[in-house]
Amino acid sequence: MTNTCGKKEDFPIFKKKVNGKDIVYLDSTATTQKPKQVLDAIISYYEGANANVHRSVYKLADEATELYENSRTNVSDFIGSKSNEVVFTRNTTESLNLLSFTIGESLKKGDHILITSMEHHSNILPWMRLEEKGVKLDYVGFDEKGHLDIGDLKSKLKKETKIVSITHQSNVLGTINPIEEIGKMAKENDSIFIIDAAQSVPHMPFRMREQYDFVAFSGHKMLGPMGIGVLYGKYHLLEEMSPFNRGGEMIRNVDFHSVIFEDPPIKFEAGTPNVEGAVGLSAAIDYLKTIGMENVRSHEKNLTSVTLRSLEDLKNVTYYGPTDVEERGGVIAFNVRDVSNLKKNLEGRNVIVDHLYHSHDIATFLDDKNVYVRSGHHCAEPLMRTLGVSGTARASFYVYNGIDDVQAFVNSLSELNDVQ
């Protein structure tokens, strides 16, 4: 394998052969593969320090608690926050739901929430439920190249807008939104600014800014295990919020009819936490730090640039989102026109019928070539409706992909593009 950013041999899954051939994994936007360093850290925890955290005074429990809290510190260092501003959750979805069920509950009829039409369902449905109490949910549009319409955002931002919640990078279009600019606009409007960073924190340098109130991301999208997520929140905001879940560990004192909760972030981590996940996420961060996030970003830009140029040579392939790799991440959603059907209609009736292969058929075809891409609506149905399609296929890159993976993908796809 050539021109990878991380060492492909660090990832045990790539030893797997299908029909005697290597697999080409191009679905890292959905979840990433795990390096041996992460797997070893998880095994080491279970073999040498497995105990419940924050509960007991014996040495093993102290070791487990230290590992867990050191993981929190490693996350906070990675994003440039304080450790007591990092709440461990299950994933980005739970982080955004936590906000919906806490700060969202304080909203009243007539209040306004502003998101975009390129959001993942995880940043739509938690806010949509508040419409039942009379809160208005509005969407910022985007142009034909996939850029967010900042003019539309400005026109829809008003005094009733209590929350602005924006994806940093679209999981379909790949668009990288100008969150610093949007954050300043939100703050000038006295709106709470929330960032869905599931597709950005794993792929580019990310540092907290004063205008960011809350940021959510997932461990499994950045080489870590599934079931661990992060919610960053400004401490004074976390302090004011009621807990999302209630139960063990997150209390300071309980009487029969009263409770005093712990300080953040512990008051948001009811019950036994995912210690394994936190340890694995910390190991994943160490791996990414070794590479350097600037190098991760540069590598993905290179792979994306080569892929987009190659797709433009395939005349019956349409991809979505910005053409400039400086404005997009390493995810490419695309569709392919069925040329055989087009030719038949041209010969039979002299009309043009622009018929697309179904995205699942594209993915199945590529699967036969050991090239693994996602297909469907990618949990972004409103975005698909805006694009006028039922779904797309989607290829996405990460540190273990190289130019040879791009070539395997494009060469396989070209077989669907044969106009001869």
* 83-100: average pLDDT: 98
Range in 248-252, 275-279, 384-388 the model is least confident about: 248-252
pLDDT above 90: percentage of residues in the chain: 91
pTM above 0.75, yes or no: yes
* 386-408: average pLDDT: 97
Summarize pLDDT for 213-235 with one digit per residue, the tens: 999 999 999 999 999 999 999 99
Domain ranges of the chain: 38-290, 292-414
Q: How confident is the model at residue 366 (pLDDT cuts 50, 70, 90)?
A: very high
Structure tokens at 412: 């396989």
pLDDT score of 317: 95
Structure tokens at 388: 């006028």
- Distance separating alpha carbons of residues 78 and 87, to the nearest angstrom: 14
In degrees, rounded to 5, the angle at the alpha carbon of residue 91 between the alpha carbons of residues 88 and 96 is: 90
Residue identified by tokens 């929190």 is: 72
Angle between the N-to-C axes of helices 403-414 and 293-313, in degrees from 0 to 180, rounded to the nearest 10: 20
* 284-298: average pLDDT: 98
Q: How confident is the model at residue 3 (pLDDT cuts 50, 70, 90)?
A: confident
Find out whether 114 and 126 touch, Cβ atoms under 8 Å. Answer: no
- Distance separating alpha carbons of residues 6 and 114, to the nearest angstrom: 38
- Tell me which CATH code domain 292-414 carries: 3.90.1150.10
Return the half-sphere exposure (C-beta side, CA atoms, 13 A cut-off) of residue 168: 24
Summarize pLDDT for 144-187 with one digit per residue, the tens: 999 999 999 999 999 999 999 999 999 999 999 999 999 999 99
Does the domain at 38-290 match CATH 3.40.50.1220? Answer given as no
Residues designated catalytic: 379
pLDDT score of 339: 65
